[in-house]
Amino acid sequence: MIKDYIKEISVGNVKLKNNVFLGPMAGITDIPFRKICKKFNPGLMFTEMASSKAMEYNSKKTERLLEVMEDERPSAVQIFGSNKDVITNTILKLNEIQNIDIININMGCPAPKIVKNGDGAGLLLDLKNVEEIIKEAKRVSKKPISIKTRKGYYNDKITVIDVAKICEYYGVEQLIIHGRTREEYYSNKADLDIIRKVKDLVKIQVIGNGDIVDIDSAEKMFKITNCDGIMIARAALGNPWIFKSILDGKLYTPTNEEKYNTIIEHINNALEYEKENPKQALLKMRKHIAWYLKGMYGGTKVKDRINREEDIDEVKKILYDFF
């Protein structure tokens, strides 16, 4: 039973009410979306990935990605980069922000524009640099350090065990493993056996990530890997209720009224967040609305209409008429 695996855990000195997390997704896990997911009680939610290099230049846009609301704590922010000194300077800044509880360093993003600079999964091609970054991060951070990685860069060169041993040696509090290589991107099935192998080898907290889409796949991740917790990302798109389903141990299907109210609440969250640029709120919400409507009869036509609409009030009317 999935409920047998749900428990309170801690990341360093940060206590979490459960071990089912919302993962970081660039362009998606902003404050408006996290406010929606928060209602369904994930134990921890991660911000979008933010560039440490941009933080070095005091980019207001990047700083905003790392904003955390007091009522969503405990919180985790995710940063990326490949220069240990730049990452260290970013952590020194984050140390001073009270609402931030955990700092995660991305070593797994497969996006070409990230990898080509040696960031994200690109770091897995240089384990010496990985070690230097982790060593310096732990030296300066006042907050628990979390690392998110993949099982390797190339299919024939698995590095996650080496990364895990480095994390353990320097006292990293949490290791999140996506069970695919960068070469696989999001194809093939996530390798749960490698996550289990890492969990058996190190004593630090291991979080399993990859292919968790429902109660059964969540239970499978826990059962096969013996992981301390799970991270859900893409499966939460248009379906924040997945957290309630997993935590309650039974499928929760929202009524059409609840789905409609959730979409409108999400739109209003976005408008509040982007109050100086409502057009940006509409652009961001188009993809979310498409995810909410996925699989609903007539949803594709409504999505197409919304994608052509430039008035947010008209979008609300279209949704009202549809539901």
pLDDT at 112 over 90: yes
Model confidence pLDDT, tens digit, residues 10-68: 999 999 999 999 999 999 999 999 999 999 999 999 999 999 999 999 899 999 999 99
Cα–chain-centroid distance for residue 211?
A: 14
Each domain of the chain, given as residue ranges in start order, spans 2-248, 256-322
Give the DSSP letter string of 19-67: SEEEPP-TTTSSHHHHHHHHTT--SEEEEEEEEHHHHHTT-HHHHHHT-
Nearest to 112 by CA among 104, 100, 120: 120
SS3 146: strand
Question: Which pLDDT score is estimated for 226?
Answer: 98
Pairing status of strand 145-154 against strand 157-158: antiparallel
Q: 14-16 and 9-11: which strand pairing?
A: antiparallel
Between strands 145-154 and 75-80, the pairing is: unpaired
217-273 pLDDT, tens per residue? 999 999 999 999 999 999 999 999 999 999 999 999 999 999 999 999 999 999 999
φ, ψ (nearest 5 deg) of residue 180: -135, 160
Residue 245 confidence (pLDDT): 98
User: What average pLDDT does range 91-96 have in this prediction?
Assistant: 97
- Measured CA distances, 105 to 5, 120, 138, 299 (Å): 26, 9, 11, 37
> What kind and span of H or E run contains 101?
none
* Alpha carbon distance 19, 265 (integer Å): 26
Confidence of residue 202 (pLDDT cuts 50, 70, 90): very high
For the stretch 274-311, pLDDT in tens is 998 989 999 999 999 999 999 999 999 999 999 999 99
Q: What are the distances in angstroms from CA 145 to CA 44, 168, 243? A: 14, 11, 24
Crossing angle for the helix pair 160-170 and 192-201, to the nearest 10 degrees = 30
Average pLDDT over residues 175-181: 97
The 3-class secondary structure across 149-218, one letter per residue, is EEEEEECCEECHHHHHHHHHHHCCCEEEEEEEECCCCCCCCCCHHHHHHHHHHCCCEEEEECCCCCHHHH
CATH topology of domain 2-248: TIM Barrel (3.20.20)
- pTM for this prediction: 0.96
152, HSE (Cβ side, Cα atoms, 13 Å): 11
Bridge partner list, 10? 15
d(CA 119, CA 110): 9
In the predicted model, what is the mean pLDDT of residues 130-144? 98
Q: In 3-state terms, what secondary structure has residue 102?
A: strand
Report the pLDDT averaged over residues 165-191.
96
Say how far apart CA 19 and CA 10 lie, in whole Å: 9
Instruction: Say whether pLDDT at 185 is over 90.
Output: no
pLDDT of residue 216: 98
Active site residues: 109
